[in-house]
Structure 1
């Protein structure tokens, strides 16, 4: 059987595992139940398994037995994130989350099941594997810097030498079934804007005797949106969204402080720095104008998730050959979401691939997106992801040298961003 056929045969087992993980989601770097499920699912396979010290990560190394003609044995890394998000699930599924306020609303349970499937497919083909494969089961992707923690603990060198390439899949609940790729920037960098406006409290009936931080914060929020549209080129993507704003205790009390937080997404480090400088200048100016003070910090978080063009071309060719042209879909523009797989790709070449997991019959225009409590992901993509992971590892370890850049057959609708966008 082909790898794709064997992956389809594993589908029922992978579905059960995914549902088990889905019912018991965990957040952050401490995922003891998830870690235990992964270790159990890997048991019996010819793997060198190690557990993280600062997080409940799992690293498994599969050593191929096929000879490498060049003499050099490459190592390839495959990543799956395992953590959930702080969202109340509202899907009504029979296997919905049993933990209040926590759900696998970003599809990481699918990623984990897919990589387990790939481990089984590859273990059965050790005689065909011309190098080693590092399986990276990562906690803490959702803002907890799990990738950085695993890198610091040596995941990139788990095979005894630095991996030559790294690949990851990410499912999307509103994209039709298929693999979406692009060279260059795949996802944006992320930064945080953290603001506390300090006024003077008082009685709401006499606001002139106070220094109302709420109205100042409201002006700041609107001014930040105007700043983005008037200070940055419309062809240079920048998103600034205030996602949290808190102030006050009672409607008849002017509070002393107002606090808000914003996320900033860009495709360039230099633009991110410009946003930070402009925002801080703007906030201090508004605070001064109203006789208040502001404590504001701009914090750089994750870099751009950068798909190395040669590795992306290799991924494209693999998808087309294994799954056919219909399932390979060039992506016109990057996603403005951020991913800490960017930490891995800043160290070694590789690519992140988007996998559409829209349920059959659903309308992509109205399907709830990732992180929604109503987001749904189709189990039918589990064998697709497992098969692609396995095929990438098998094919990439056959050659000690990186794949050549050949995108002639890939009609990407937009050019790759300039090298400056790379972290």
Structure 2
């Protein structure tokens, strides 16, 4: 099967699409699932694919893959590299091929399958909340009853090839943002004493964001705060800005720490602005929740995989919208190492990231094994 899955993955890699509207990607997945006898549904507000495989009487298990790429210009030089300004730099092309492979494996033993499997192909993972939208459109009731468990496998191009990694409890962080505007008065750059310049105030605010994380948040329940955007409304070098806009990316592993940052950080920044005669306004933008692996399901997974899986000692601070599914259904997210044999060429989300797709058979078999073991 690996030849077919590698060809599918490379076709998807060569023609990536970004966001929620992925018509070519959706068509490729539908074609790859054709002939398996699945109940297929397309999304209404996004280019999702939900496929239901019915076996005999029994529970429902959900397997999920994301579908979208990133707005990155690829520089890998691969013969199947994307040339359209987008790139599967997070391995979603492998995720789709792996889930198609799992569907083929499980469909091949439909007669002995003790239950139903839902295959969830989801657009818009990269910041568009596609998982939440698919839940709103009914993916969790696609089989007529809710799944008893949900699983996903995420590849990692810097983890040794074939290595499986997971952990119970939080495994990936929440993601949210605080948008900040620092408003002064603007004026002539030669006479700053006649104006209220928001730029040095914004600089002080940036330092305060870092000290807030270091001094207000416990190391046992951390937060990562990063200023990722900074602009002013000055259009000339001799004009003081009237306002500065910045955005703080917020990563946390618990609702308590997120609440602390959400309430405490704006108060601090508003106080700094007031001390310098500036007005500071803030807007909190909620995004992905913490990805939490159910302890019981993850214990079952780790027991099943035994010496094939490594226990991840600490959660990662990246985010993943499979979190929305795990908020509704007990389950687990696992990582599969697909580092190239000669070592990584770039990290995840890099324009140089490369992934060893020789592990696709194992990827597909792992997903099928998780579903079958849980049904039994």
Query: What TM-score do the two structures reach when normalised by structure 2?
Result: 0.97
Equivalent position of 1:154 in the other structure: 138
Equivalent position of 1:351 in the other structure: 332
Question: What SS does the corresponding residue of 1:169 show, helix, strand or coil?
Answer: strand
1:245 aligns with 2:226: no
Q: C-alpha displacement at 1:271, in angstroms?
A: 0.8
The worse-fitting range, judged by mean Cα deviation, of 167-176 and 196-205 is 196-205
Q: C-alpha displacement at 1:251, in angstroms?
A: 2.3
Q: How do 1:46-195 and structure 2 match up within 5 A?
A: 46-65=37-56, 68=57, 73-100=58-85, 102-177=86-161, 178-195=163-180
Equivalent position of 2:321 in the other structure: 340
Q: C-alpha displacement at 1:192, in angstroms?
A: 0.9
CA distance in 2, matches of 1:242, 1:356: 30
Q: Which runs of 5+ in 1 are unaligned?
A: 1-9, 399-423
8 Å CA contact 1:318–1:391 kept in 2: the answer is: no
Shift in CA distance, 173/250, structure 1 to aligned 2, threshold 3 Å: farther
Q: C-alpha displacement at 1:378, in angstroms?
A: 0.9
The worse-fitting range, judged by mean Cα deviation, of 287-296 and 143-152 is 287-296
Query: Which of 11, 31, 56 is the aligned partner of 1:20?
Result: 11
Equivalent position of 2:254 in the other structure: 268
8 Å CA contact 2:222–2:252 kept in 1: the answer is: yes
1:382 aligns with 2:372: no
Query: Which of 201, 210, 235 is the aligned partner of 2:186?
Result: 201
Q: C-alpha displacement at 1:318, in angstroms?
A: 2.6
8 Å CA contact 2:74–2:83 kept in 1: the answer is: no
Question: What SS does the corresponding residue of 1:142 show, helix, strand or coil?
Answer: coil
Question: What SS does the corresponding residue of 1:222 show, helix, strand or coil?
Answer: helix
Equivalent position of 2:243 in the other structure: 257
CA distance in 1, matches of 2:349, 2:244: 27
Question: What SS does the corresponding residue of 2:354 show, helix, strand or coil?
Answer: coil
Query: Which of 182, 185, 198 is the aligned partner of 1:213?
Result: 198
8 Å CA contact 2:16–2:82 kept in 1: the answer is: yes
Q: C-alpha displacement at 1:227, in angstroms?
A: 1.1
CA distance in 1, matches of 2:195, 2:75: 43
Q: C-alpha displacement at 1:146, in angstroms?
A: 0.3
Cα displacement string for residues 319-377 of structure 1 (whole angstroms, at most 9, x for unaligned residues): 23xxxx2x3111111111111111000101000001111111216xxx52211111111
Cα displacement string for residues 66-90 of structure 1 (whole angstroms, at most 9, x for unaligned residues): xx5xxxx100000000001122212
CA distance in 2, matches of 1:336, 1:376: 22
Question: What SS does the corresponding residue of 1:389 show, helix, strand or coil?
Answer: helix
How many residues align? The count is: 374
Query: Which of 210, 214, 222 is the aligned partner of 1:229?
Result: 214
CA distance in 1, matches of 2:194, 2:350: 43
Question: What SS does the corresponding residue of 1:346 show, helix, strand or coil?
Answer: helix
8 Å CA contact 2:222–2:257 kept in 1: the answer is: no
Query: What TM-score do the two structures reach when normalised by structure 1?
Result: 0.86
CA distance in 1, matches of 2:189, 2:10: 52
Question: What SS does the corresponding residue of 2:245 show, helix, strand or coil?
Answer: strand
CA distance in 2, matches of 1:214, 1:131: 61
CA distance in 2, matches of 1:220, 1:198: 13
CA distance in 2, matches of 1:203, 1:359: 55
Query: Which of 348, 351, 364 is the aligned partner of 1:373?
Result: 351
8 Å CA contact 1:76–1:393 kept in 2: the answer is: yes
Runs of 4+ with >3 A deviation: none
8 Å CA contact 2:73–2:83 kept in 1: the answer is: no
CA distance in 1, matches of 2:5, 2:243: 50
Cα displacement string for residues 38-92 of structure 1 (whole angstroms, at most 9, x for unaligned residues): 0011111110000000111000000013xx5xxxx10000000000112221211
The worse-fitting range, judged by mean Cα deviation, of 150-159 and 240-249 is 240-249
Q: C-alpha displacement at 1:235, in angstroms?
A: 2.1
CA distance in 1, matches of 2:339, 2:66: 20
8 Å CA contact 1:185–1:334 kept in 2: the answer is: yes
The worse-fitting range, judged by mean Cα deviation, of 193-202 and 25-34 is 193-202
CA distance in 2, matches of 1:88, 1:130: 45
